[in-house]
Structure 1
Amino acid sequence: MPINKKSKVNRVITWLHLWLGLVSGIIVFIVSITGCLFSFQKEITEMTHKKELFVTPPTKDAEFLPLSVLKEKAQTALGSKEPVTYITTYARPDRSWEFMAYKEDDTHAITFAQSVKYYESVFVNPYTGSIIGRIDYMHNFFVIVKYIHWSLLLSTPIGQPIVGWSTLIFVIMLITGIIMWWPKKWDKKHKGRSFKIRWKAKWKRVNYDLHNVLGFYTFIIALILGLTGMVFAFKWFQATVYVAGSLSTKTPTIQNFQSDTTASYTNDPLSTALLEAKNTYPNAKRYFVSMPYSNKAAINVIAYEHKEVYYDANTLYFDQYTGKKLGVDTYQKKNNGEKLILMNYDIHVGAIGGLIGKIIAFLVSLVCASLPITGFLIWLKRKKKKAKKTSSRKTIDDSLRVPQ
């Protein structure tokens, strides 16, 4: 009876899946497990830092102090060497406002710690102006987890390409894995082997099923997580996603709003900008203020329509000297390619699906972290079996050898 050998294509696919897995396994495990840990960072942070993040309104109709007043108090707490760069305010009456000082320079840096000069926030009671907390993000658990996920705690120019190429390899492995998993026949026997984990079988079989069956069930979501991760890592892939979404190679127009350096300075342009943003988008849940980075730059205020996701946002630009509105960049006017890129982060972390989406992202990331382990154990077991067969064959050959 002829031996049914695998086709050349199947052998190539198996070879690719094996060696790409061995090359990228440790990186895939690290990136997946950190993604898993980061899934509920918002919920956990709100519990562990409740003192810093929440306040009790003095009265039902109490009003917030002007943003410029709160910024001045935050700046005093941070010190003159760490200027406030970002401010997050909330529509909710029970949230503190965050004033962040952040500066990075990864020109000659090797590690994440070397590339970031400072990264900390003070939290201010918006009714009284009192400082209620301070977080140094350089030593924050979830920030460290995020930057392990982002660049293995290396500087972005060094670490992110490593993560990016490992993610690309992981995507290839997912595709080759689903080809290898595909049942030869769709009868009851083969479907039972392909779709079920035989928990009562020997450890070797259980491990094999954990790798193959869980890999199949998480394939689509794992592929989405991998592809969205590649958008962050590669400009060429981001451009590809943009073209696919917009069905056009035309680069979107980016308006560069600038402040009038010859204008007279008004009393409170920062507070004016926030008030205008609130009047323009009164239903926004939070407002993110980006301070001008030069004497010509504008104040940017991003109005987020949802509590957590980032994609559905509108950006307003204001003169830093007068508070005059210079322009608006709305989400609805963007093409589908731009919208898809803006949705990328929320898709990647599962937040676009709410709590259920985050649970799914958590579970799939956990499975993705397990795949290099179960795959390595399969390879190790087969290698030992192959070595044992080779040894047995050699013993038989030696026994048949004619003595000299």
Structure 2
Amino acid sequence: MKLVRKTIFWLHLGIGLLAGVLVLMMSVTGVLMAFERQIVEKADGFHITATGNPLGPEAHLDGLRTAKQPPSSLGFERDATRPVVYQFGKEKAVFSDPYTGKSLGNGNTAVRGFFKFILSWHRWLGREGASQATGKAIIGIGNLMFLFLLVTGVFLWFPKRWTRSGVKAITLLQKRLKGRARDWNWHNVFGFWAAIPLLVIVISGTVISQPWATTLVFHLAGETPPVQGERKKPAPFTLPESLAGLDAAFATVKSSNPDWQSIQLQLPFAKTATFIVADSHRGRPDLRRTITVDLATSGIVKSEGFDDLGPGRQTRTWIRWLHTGEAGGLPGQTIAGLAATASAVLVWTGFALSFRRFFKKRRAAA
């Protein structure tokens, strides 16, 4: 057992030194993005005053007839102080007053650009274009190394003797310690309290970054994994001459979902229109439905919710929101942010302990 523990220790130390900088980068960027949505909404600074009844999708889209390219979706919020969102793919968003249709601009582009820059490092190591695949592969390898460090770290954390003082030393911060003793204490304590949320974050990150992991999730759920290929860009389209029926369809969706918090109209549309309805914040996929409405009759022709998905798709969808903590709302985001902070401390203290092990001894011997 002593040999096994010693072997795992040196593997833990070696891989930690090899992947430390990459793990630190993922941790810091993860901390910065923990409350991205709330920060962006605050930075946008929209102050909308309710003046009568809000406009429907027909009026909002009619004002875009002179636009070179219509949006890919049109988003409405139940909150009367929130603007209507014209989403142009993932790259651009334009906002308007829900009561007048007046454009409110693109929000705080500086803050949005900052988070876009941070996300590019978190996902692709700052690479763009064709080299994103290389950056994603490196991040994926680093994520697997981090998973190995967490598993071996949990094993090494277990004390040789379960005494009160021994357990206290690895579960509670000791303020009076300095130097190596302090780093050892911090490394154990932060690792202990952050182990479970970090395992959730890293395992979900592995599924997100590794196609084989996604395939494994579907197989474990007893479902055939979908064929993975390149996403096709939507073909350009122009708004139809008549938008009649959209407002009535929108009213049907609202009346059939009395607890709705946000509704997103998908474009393009023809004889039917597709709406994505959310009854809660975006981290709850189980409270979302996709509803298709006939524009001629205002009747619902199709309604699909989370329960209609297979077990593999359900699991994969949850994994996306577990990774950011948004599945648990603001408390979940807070836990994810604290866990990412703890992982940065683990890297720092791990480097400090290694430095003292390899360099301090040499200086003492000299």
Per the shorter chain, which TM-score range? Answer: 0.7 to 0.9
Equivalent position of 2:151 in the other structure:
175
1:277-292 alignment runs, 5 A limit: 277-292=253-268
Q: Which runs of 5+ in 1 are unaligned?
A: 1-5, 104-118, 254-263, 393-404
1:118-137 C-alpha deviation (Å, 9 max, x unpaired): x2221111211111222448
Change (3 A) 1:277 1:160: farther
In the alignment, is residue 56 of structure 1 matched against residue 30 of structure 2?
no
1:358-397 alignment runs, 5 A limit: 358-388=333-363, 391-392=365-366
Report the CA distance between 1:20 and its aligned residue: 1.5
- 1:309 pairs with one of 283, 289, 302: 283
Equivalent position of 1:145 in the other structure:
118
Of structures 1 and 2, the larger Rg is shown by 1
One-letter code of the match for 2:135? G
Change (3 A) 1:19 1:323: farther
In the alignment, is residue 31 of structure 1 matched against residue 26 of structure 2?
yes
Equivalent position of 1:341 in the other structure:
316
Greater shift, 119-128 or 313-322, is seen at: 313-322
Equivalent position of 2:252 in the other structure:
276
**Which structure's relative contact order is higher, taking Cα pairs within 8 Å and 6+ residues apart?**
2
- 2:55 pairs with one of 62, 65, 70: 65
Matched residue of 1:218: which SS?
helix
Report the CA distance between 1:345 and its aligned residue: 2.7
Equivalent position of 1:122 in the other structure:
94
The answer as to whether partners of 1:266 and 1:321 remain within 8 angstroms in 2 is no
Matched residue of 1:140: which SS?
helix
1:301-343 C-alpha deviation (Å, 9 max, x unpaired): 2111103424121112357999875522211233443322222
Matched residue of 2:205: which SS?
helix
Whole-Å Cα distance in 1 between the matches of residues 71 and 307 of structure 2?
A: 30
> Identity across aligned pairs (percent)?
25
User: What is the root-mean-square deviation of aligned Cα atoms in Å?
Assistant: 3.0
Equivalent position of 1:106 in the other structure:
none
1:41-93 C-alpha deviation (Å, 9 max, x unpaired): 22222222122xx41111xxx322231321343565xx41x431122211222
The answer as to whether partners of 2:291 and 2:300 remain within 8 angstroms in 1 is yes
Whole-Å Cα distance in 1 between the matches of residues 325 and 299 of structure 2?
A: 37
The answer as to whether partners of 2:83 and 2:95 remain within 8 angstroms in 1 is yes
Equivalent position of 1:329 in the other structure:
304
Question: Scaled by the length of structure 1, what TM-score is found?
Answer: 0.77
Whole-Å Cα distance in 2 between the matches of residues 369 and 151 of structure 1?
A: 19
Q: Which runs of 5+ in 2 are unaligned?
A: 228-239
Report the CA distance between 1:355 and its aligned residue: 2.3
- 1:133 pairs with one of 91, 105, 119: 105
Report the CA distance between 1:15 and its aligned residue: 2.3
Equivalent position of 1:114 in the other structure:
none
Whole-Å Cα distance in 2 between the matches of residues 189 and 283 of structure 1?
A: 52
One-letter code of the match for 1:47? K
The answer as to whether partners of 1:138 and 1:144 remain within 8 angstroms in 2 is no
Question: Scaled by the length of structure 2, what TM-score is found?
Answer: 0.84
